Structure 1
Amino acid sequence: MYKKKLAIAVFLFFAITNIQAQVTFKPGLRAGLSLSTVSEMHANYRPDFYIGGFGEINLTKRYALQPEINYIRQGSNNVARNFIDPDTQTERTVHQDLQMSYLSVALLNKLKFAQFQVQFGPALDVLLSDNLAFRKTYNDLSFVTGVAYKMPSGLGFEFRFKKGLLDVLDSDYYHNNSNNHYFFGDYNTNINFQIGISYSFETK
């Protein structure tokens, strides 16, 4: 029994030592185009930008964890707004842009195949500013997935899709025409596409 426990301990020691020998850390920056909208509404995608920093923790040759902090500008453009004009008592339709900016903290898994990468993981988005009349929550939880191509120089090209999980708008208020605001469905979540570049710094 003692020999068995000793053998397990020795095995775990060398396994942990081997993992530690492979672990590397590379900080980096990322930025690019943000295309976003809010689901269940008549609107167009809003073009804007994102910028942020990350740390790539390489645990094995093909797997890494990547914590990130990003500033992302989201929203929707040309949102249809139905309301009853108080002066004429007739129904009118106008359009307005919705603007939201978030501080997004993410923890991504990265699967690496040569210079190609598959990325996925959760993110917490904290609302920094907006022009909404009413909202359901100031924060959002989202899931991020995407692909990237990383060159030996550290320069990378990436494409991501980020889907919010929480209803970010007060649908009961916005759905009511008499309150002079937006007309759309009941479950309004953030939808965001990111197309950009990244750069990883070499560390010694």
Structure 2
Amino acid sequence: MKQIIVLTFVLFLGIFISKAQATFNPGLRGGLSLSTISETHANYRPDFYIGGFGEINISKRYSLQPEINYIRQGSNNVARNFIDPNTQTERVVYQDLQISYLSIDLINKLKFGQGLEVQFGPALDVLLNDNLAFRKTNNDLSFITGLAYKMPSGLGFEIRFKKGLFDVLDSDYYHNNSNDYYFFGDYNTNVNFQIGVTYCFDVK
């Protein structure tokens, strides 16, 4: 199923480029990933993301940018409440949750002035690995929005917000019913901020 999605994605881009007579510039991106999981009252997890992209320049003001990224997400100090089987007493432990994805993004870029860009688009996140004891789903669908500034040299700076749509945690396992501050909701989604740099190669 994953291979079919990727193949369809590549074929669509090939047809689109040939019809639009667009220019194409490859590039690299990477930086800091700050993530948490919603409705857990946990801490943000600092980590990183890295990837490549192809900027398809449709017009002076609009570009379509497919991306393939490796991104590490998760949440730190997630509370788990349980009954210790040895002592039959209630215990709370705090766990750092880590989830790694291969993210396939399709970013729309609206360009304003000298280098300012508004970015938005969907992402398909394919699970690579994690340390979750129980999860609701392996993969995720996300929506991305952000701002970027690209210099004439090709070097750029970006900040993005990425929100997952799927419930990723089994809240019956990760929960705390003894302290309202650590109360778990039922809909636990990925929340991610990205702050980083890009470089776009000038291909003639």
Q: TM-score range by the shorter chain?
A: 0.7 to 0.9
Q: Does 1:61 align with 2:60?
A: yes
Give yes or no for contact 1:82–1:183 (8 Å, CA) kept in 2: no
Query: What's the counterpart of residue 24 of structure 1?
Result: 23
Runs (4+) off by over 6 Å? 19-22
One-letter amino acid of the structure 1 residue matched with residue 158 of structure 2: E
TM-score normalised per structure 2: 0.84
Deviation string 1:115-160 (CA, Å, 9 cap, x unpaired) is: 1000000000000000001111110000000000000000000000
Query: What's the counterpart of residue 196 of structure 2?
Result: 196
Aligned equivalents of 2:128, 2:162: Cα separation in 1:
18
Q: Does 1:93 align with 2:87?
A: no
TM-score normalised per structure 1: 0.84
Q: What's the CA shift for 1:92?
A: 1.5
Aligned equivalents of 1:20, 1:80: Cα separation in 2:
53
One-letter amino acid of the structure 2 residue matched with residue 192 of structure 1: N
One-letter amino acid of the structure 2 residue matched with residue 135 of structure 1: R
Aligned equivalents of 2:25, 2:50: Cα separation in 1:
17
Aligned equivalents of 2:31, 2:90: Cα separation in 1:
40
1:143-182, aligned counterparts within 5 Å? Answer: 143-175=143-175
RMSD: 1.9
Give yes or no for contact 2:79–2:176 (8 Å, CA) kept in 1: no
Give yes or no for contact 1:117–1:149 (8 Å, CA) kept in 2: yes
Aligned equivalents of 2:35, 2:109: Cα separation in 1:
23
One-letter amino acid of the structure 1 residue matched with residue 119 of structure 2: Q
Aligned equivalents of 1:81, 1:175: Cα separation in 2:
5
Give yes or no for contact 1:81–1:183 (8 Å, CA) kept in 2: no
- Name the stretch that deviates more: 134-143 or 77-86: 77-86
Q: Does 1:73 align with 2:72?
A: yes
Q: How many residues align?
A: 182
Give yes or no for contact 1:69–1:106 (8 Å, CA) kept in 2: yes
Give yes or no for contact 1:22–1:58 (8 Å, CA) kept in 2: no
1:85-164, aligned counterparts within 5 Å? Answer: 85-114=84-113, 115-164=115-164
Question: What SS does structure 1 have at the residue aligned with 2:172?
Answer: helix
Judged with a 3 Å threshold, the aligned counterparts in structure 2 of structure 1 residues 88 and 146 are, in CA distance, closer, same or farther, namely same
Aligned equivalents of 1:193, 1:87: Cα separation in 2:
41
Q: Does 1:82 align with 2:81?
A: yes
Give % identity: 82
Aligned equivalents of 1:154, 1:146: Cα separation in 2:
18
Q: What's the CA shift for 1:201?
A: 0.2
Structure 2 stretches of 5 or more lacking a match?
A: 1-17
Aligned equivalents of 2:203, 2:166: Cα separation in 1:
38
